[in-house]
Amino acid sequence: MQLPTVLITGASRGIGRAIAHAFAKGGYELFLTCRTCFSLLEGLKIELERTYHIHCHIFQCDMGKADDVEGLFKIISPPDILVNNAGISYEGLLSEMSISDWDELMATNLNSVFYTCRQAIPHMVHRKKGRIINISSIWGNVGASMETAYSASKGGMNSLTRALARELAPSNIQVNAIACGMIDTQMNQGYSQEEIAAILEEIPMGRQGRPEEVAELALFLAHAPEYLTGQIITIDGGWT
């Protein structure tokens, strides 16, 4: 019996790593990518295969480059589930952001979603089934000062999610996004303890989210009712 397959981008650490664990536990065959931390991905592959007895394939790939993504899809099986998680952040005034920093952030956070969807969709349409799950942020909904470019990239992801869901609904393909609040990952290490404490005071649950909680939601969306599509589902401890 062939295992269902999932492609998870940006899987070497943080939310992507937790999502890989969740799908491995769920019995999926995994295709995992990262851009720089390949040694972490190699360790994760060993861990997942030993723990869950599944097949895990790893690739060093810049998801923000169309040629890299096209090459990746030439060597992997068409995924049943696509999880677009690869992302980077930028904190600072927009007026002081370099053009190269803007281009890199948009390529990684938004263009990558276009590149992967463009490759995955034909196979899903042919099978008349498939799931696309985009890992977004609450800043894509409301915007964040000093994170304007990041907010713009996630806002674009949210709009893409809604529009693509309408486009693919006749082919029985569901497209949803998860808008994360403050999740305890390396991306938040730039905050001081005082800044984190101030943020936690605004979160009704009084704590950061865990990557494993986002992973549980991603796995749920992989098995959710087919009628659930085009949604931006927020997980933020009641913050927004």
- Residues with Cβ < 8 Å from 145, sequence gap 6 or more? none
d(CA 31, CA 96): 37
Comparing 35 with 193, the larger pLDDT belongs to 35
Classified as helix, coil or strand, 39 is: helix
* Residue (of 104, 122, 123) closest to 112 by Cα position: 104
Q: How confident is the model at residue 195 (pLDDT cuts 50, 70, 90)?
A: confident
* Residue (of 117, 41, 53) closest to 79 by Cα position: 117
Q: How confident is the model at residue 130 (pLDDT cuts 50, 70, 90)?
A: very high
> How many other CB atoms are found less than 10 A from the CB of residue 182?
21
Question: 220-226: which pairs have CB atoms within 8 A and are 24 or more residues apart?
Answer: 221/131, 221/133, 221/174, 221/176, 221/178, 222/6, 222/23, 222/26, 222/81, 222/131, 222/133, 224/174, 224/176, 226/172, 226/174
Helices (H), 80-210: 99-106, 112-127, 139-142, 148-168, 193-202
| Residues with a known catalytic role | 150
Q: Which amino acid is at 66?
A: A
Report the predicted TM-score, pTM, of the whole model to 2 decimal places: 0.96
Domains along the chain with CATH numbers: 5-233 (3.40.50.720)
pLDDT in tens, 6-44: 999 999 999 999 999 999 999 999 999 999 999 999 999
- CA distances to 142, 146, 223 from 97, in Å: 21, 10, 40
Q: Which two tokens stand for residue 35?
A: 């851009």
Q: Which two tokens stand for residue 18?
A: 């937790």
Phi, psi at 136, each rounded to 5°:
-110, -155
pLDDT in tens, 144-189: 999 999 999 999 999 999 999 999 999 999 999 999 999 999 877 7
Sign of CA dihedral 35, 176, 166, 169: positive
- Residue 49's Cβ-side half-sphere holds a number of Cα atoms within 13 Å equal to 13
The predicted pLDDT at position 1 comes to: 62
d(CA 153, CA 97): 14
Number of H-type helices and E-type strands within the chain = 9, 7
